Amino acid sequence: MKTRLALLVIVLSLADLPASQGSEVSLFDAPLAGGTIYCDGARRGSAVMVDGPEGSSQLAGVFIVSAAHVFYDLHSGQRYQDCYFDYRGLEHLPGYRATLSTQWLQLGDFDPREDPSQARNGHGDWAVAYLPEPPRAAKRHQPIQLAGPDEWPVSRSQEFYLLAWDPDSQRVVTSGPCEGLPSTPADIGGGLWPGQWLDNCGDGRPGSSGGGLLWKDGEYLSLLAIRTGAHWRLGEPGAAANSQANWDPAWSANTSRGVDGEVLQAMLQLAASAVR
């Protein structure tokens, strides 16, 4: 009962709490915190294991974040029915898969009928899940700490990395370093909502949605945002214009949704439910 009350106090005091418990994950170790989302017979996107909220260290399960749109068939607008988290994307190995129950899954206010490439639709494109029984292989490795909004860089930085599925190597990898910045009215994202991030990490190939935009501050990495898609102006060559050498965020960018209070609140609610 004391644990449950403590978590309820956490939910009511979100603004006063740190975003995570502070696992220190290096660039070398980061791929060990990644995985993929597999729904209705196919790999749909990426996911990242993250630190639980303050006060949840006694829970046996694991928290993951991803993008909401990977849980939808964007042609029909319907939710996929049977979903799994595959640690490191290795679903064929024993002990690398965990069931994703709708009971332990919260999605943002994402509308699958809207065009996900439009910047205004990225705000609700997030997902948080709790795995009461995580993959056995994942229990030996550290999740990544979350960078709360008060820790976000305030300008363009070259210390970003993308943790996501790579279709060429058929595994979860960390790519970078690359550039990222918070969106403003001067770029292609238009700065339409707080927590909108642009970057030139990777080339937006299938499977990267739901991956983690990581920020390297010193020796260790933290998760700043969730990869949601890409934008480019008509007439531009899409991902090719996103080259690291000549990136102009006014014309093209990969896009990510910052892990802020709304996402953290969902995580806290899942943690509170887990101890009931």
Could you tell me if 115 and 180 lie in one domain? no
> Mean pLDDT, the chain, as a whole number?
83
Give pLDDT tens digits for 247-260: 888 888 999 999 98
Give pLDDT tens digits for 101-111: 999 999 999 99
Contact 233, 188 (CB under 8 A): yes
Is the confidence at residue 205, as pLDDT, over 90? no
Does the N-terminal peptide bond of residue 116 adopt cis geometry, omega within 30 degrees of 0?
A: no
CA angle 84, 212, 162 (to 5 degrees): 125
For 263-275, what is the HEC assignment? HHHHHHHHHHHHC
At 52 the pLDDT is: 85
Is the confidence at residue 3, as pLDDT, over 70? no
Contact 123, 108 (CB under 8 A): yes
179 inside domain: yes
27 inside domain: no
165 inside domain: yes
pLDDT band at 203 (very low <50, low <70, confident <90, very high): low
Written as six digits, the tokens of 70 are 């990977």
pLDDT band at 2 (very low <50, low <70, confident <90, very high): very low
Cα–Cα distance measured from residue 61 to residue 51, given in angstroms and rounded to the nearest whole number: 11
Query: Mean pLDDT lowest for which of 115-124, 171-180, 215-224?
Result: 115-124
Q: How far from chain centre, in Å, is Cα 3?
A: 27
pLDDT band at 234 (very low <50, low <70, confident <90, very high): low
Could you tell me if 61 and 75 lie in one domain? yes
Could you tell me if 198 and 211 lie in one domain? yes
The domain that holds 199 is classified in CATH as: 2.40.10
- 3-state DSSP assignment of residue 39: strand
- 3-state DSSP assignment of residue 247: coil
Could you tell me if 138 and 265 lie in one domain? yes
- Residue whose C-alpha is closest to residue 269's, from 95, 132, 129: 129
Contact 207, 45 (CB under 8 A): yes
DSSP state of 146: B
Could you tell me if 122 and 209 lie in one domain? no
Cα–Cα distance measured from residue 48 to residue 63, given in angstroms and rounded to the nearest whole number: 8
Could you tell me if 224 and 101 lie in one domain? no
Domains: count for the chain: 2
Could you tell me if 197 and 101 lie in one domain? no
Buried b (16+ CB within 10 A) or exposed e, 117-131: eebebbbbbbbbbbb
Cα–Cα distance measured from residue 264 to residue 65, given in angstroms and rounded to the nearest whole number: 10
- pTM summary value: 0.86
Backbone angles phi, psi at 136, to 5 degrees: -60, -40
Average of per-residue pLDDT across 222-246:
70
17 inside domain: yes
Could you tell me if 56 and 111 lie in one domain? yes
Domain hosting 156: range is 149-258
At 20 the pLDDT is: 39
Could you tell me if 173 and 102 lie in one domain? no
Cα–Cα distance measured from residue 39 to residue 81, given in angstroms and rounded to the nearest whole number: 7
Could you tell me if 167 and 55 lie in one domain? no
Distance separating the N- and C-terminal Cα atoms of the chain: 8
Could you tell me if 156 and 95 lie in one domain? no
Cα–Cα distance measured from residue 166 to residue 35, given in angstroms and rounded to the nearest whole number: 11
Contact 230, 252 (CB under 8 A): yes
Contact 53, 20 (CB under 8 A): yes
Backbone angles phi, psi at 139, to 5 degrees: -70, -15
Could you tell me if 231 and 138 lie in one domain? no
